[in-house]
Structure 1
């Protein structure tokens, strides 16, 4: 490509386009899984394909597994904000931006934030979430930032052909409109203006792992097949097949629909006084399908850190808040891990936005004190507040001022009065009151 492929230290836009073409089908497949629009290949020996198509099952377990975690990842703010990062995000519709970034990262294993400047607007820095099916790059394993990136900023709604492409480097951004001449814009930030937000990265998968796992897709496919078989069997369960033995071949044929829905059938004796034997085939039981569905639900729930209650199999006794937390321990651990990995990407996004806003490449070490704050994964109820309150009193009695209002907010999510000071009660005061 013009102006960029000649630079030896970069892999080039052509390489990144080929890389995106290899991962895009897998990302789109998971988006279809999330939207319950993915068509599973027909598997089975007993049900003909034309019959199976009539009873195609639709199940939203993968969407439930993603939303159960995404709805609990609520971004609060950037603490120790020395560079005015919170103000930048407030100007970019944070209620939609953070939810969109978290959901896209959980589905596609990562998402990308396109950072751009707009000097003619009251908002000098614009942030746009781009899903993993439209962007990629070469990642720096130390900082988590890209050394170069590529994104499709606009596609044709009918053909999905790229209408506007962009290639990002640390010094400039090249734009390639369809049918137009390429042009570049200088980048004063000092790093590519395409920032990855990654879910559960590791040394093998630097761009993370999707919340929609292969085993989760298997259990949903297994449950869909069970529902389809149950649907077909229900037709025979509703209208059992009947048979007649010893019918005279010369007798008038009986209408099949009348024989199925009629509550009374009249069959006369023949000339010899014999009469045919009427019977009914034993109907198949629906119980095995229910057990199969519960087996699939149990496997899927174990994979996603959910319970059978979350998938619609209600338990006999309602659970308390503490019991719900205990049963969702795996979900809580997954949420804490997601907060750490996604928080690192959001912090990189804030760092890039500040550098672009001030048109100065700050040292990455200047942002080490800035922290990403999340709301608690589980909301505190009255019983939890009581337990936390008792614990805070005892800790502050042992170590005065150890637990502050900010700590309590991190535990409960309740934003109390500003500038509050903990009231310390000494042991002598407690004894005198008694």
Structure 2
């Protein structure tokens, strides 16, 4: 396949990085939505700018449940490579970055006489040309370092036979390192890829961002309305033109006001405008929460609308059925990417070009999405006994660990 070249990949990264940066801003609750509305002036709306973390909740609710356990049938001993690369942080970083930006990249490097090193690179700093059959890149590009102004200071161009490093304004330090694996040492880990979107889909969807923006606008309007709700507007009719101007703040907070009759014996009449109700805003916020919960597979409890009755594990699993299915899909797609990382890391460690089909028996294993409670343990135990009575040895310790996430003594 003809190489596209580093200039093409630079343009591709610039084209797509803005979407990734926007989703990271949504996740970190720093994204400023465009001002929408006809009745509230922009300068007042800015004073009541609301912040909502529903998009972050939608990502974390799934990311926290995706806990990588091990590689089953690890014939090539790839587990030692991951154990040497701070696995508690590495796997969580890969999963979180993939859910936010639809994919993340793992840069594999090696220092002489050491195990390969694995570095997670977010999607707004890396891109490439993907092979839709294997999920590996045919050519890759990554920004490894940026200066204080966000401009690339160290770039890497990954090909099947070498990795090229380019230093900004320091061409004498440019470096070439040969690649013995036969594939670029930049591996994508993709969340929910398909034929239309080979680099996957983000957990922060357009629909989810809309519902969060709708809820933020509702909260801003509620905050502004609360000012009038706390201090209702009053009026005076029939006040003499010769009367001294009244301090509006004093008229609002004073417990007693005195008005005397004028020379004709007339007296002013006091009144108060109808206080706006806060109930419509509560209903609007709940409607937005219901839409966001349906989009992300959460419940209203997850978004702060707490119900009276606590839920058991079985009830939680039933109410989070969409979240469970999304988690199973994420385990399959992310597991394929991690297996590709293991494949290339083993090739680099052994300085040998293995064939990818040799790794088909190696399977990524994940912890159950929902932890088992006492009732579930009892139900699974009874079921295992009955199944083993019907078919001897059908349920073993490994199967039980996959079901309940508890490792036995042996």
What corresponds to 2:261 in structure 1? 269
* Alignment pair present for 1:163 and 2:156: no
**Residue of 41, 51, 56 corresponding to 1:63:** 56
Q: 2:96 aligns with which of 94, 103, 111?
A: 103
Q: How far apart are the structure 2 equivalents of 1:270 and 1:392?
A: 93
How many pairs are equivalent?
408
Unpaired segments ≥5 residues, structure 1 = 1-7, 419-434
Within 5 Å, give how 1:6-405 maps onto structure 2. Answer: 9-119=2-112, 123-156=114-147, 158-181=148-171, 182-405=174-397
Q: CA RMSD in A?
A: 0.8
Contact in 1 for aligned 2:25/2:31 (Cα 8 Å):
yes
CA contact (8 A) 2:185 2:344 kept: yes
Q: Comparing 253-262 with 175-184, which one deviates more in the overlay?
A: 175-184
| Alignment gaps of 5+ in structure 2 | none
TM-score (normalised: structure 2): 0.99
Q: CA deviation at 1:186?
A: 0.4
CA distance in 2, matches of 1:217, 1:50: 24
Tell me the distance in 2 between the aligned counterparts of 1:46 and 1:179. Answer: 52
Report the Cα offset of residue 61 of structure 1.
0.3
Contact 2:84–2:115 (CA under 8 A) maintained in structure 1:
no
SS in 2 for 1:296: helix
Deviation at 1:266, TM superposition (A): 1.0
In the alignment, the residues of structure 2 paired with residue 251 and residue 145 of structure 1 have an alpha-carbon distance, to the nearest angstrom, of 83
> How far has the Cα of 1:275 moved from its partner?
1.1
Do the aligned partners of 2:181 and 2:351 also contact (CA within 8 Å) in 1?
A: yes
1:331-377 deviation per Cα after TM superposition (whole angstroms, max 9, x unaligned)? 00000000000000000000000000011110111100000000000
Instruction: For residues 250-294 of structure 1, give each alpha carbon's deviation from its aligned partner in whole angstroms, at most 9, with x where no partner exists.
Output: 111211111010121111112222211101111100000000000
Deviation at 1:9, TM superposition (A): 1.4
The separation in 1 between residues aligned to 2:255 and 2:304, in whole angstroms, is 37
Q: 2:115 and 2:402 mapped to 1: Cα distance?
A: 32
If the length of structure 1 is used for normalisation, what is the TM-score? 0.93
Q: Distance in 1 between matches of 2:397 and 2:255?
A: 74
Asked if 1 retains the 8 angstrom alpha-carbon contact of 2:116 and 2:349, the reply is yes
Q: Deviations over 1:312-332 (max 9, x none)?
A: 000122212111110000000
- Greater Cα shift, 327-336 or 246-255: 246-255
Q: Secondary structure at the match of 1:387?
A: helix
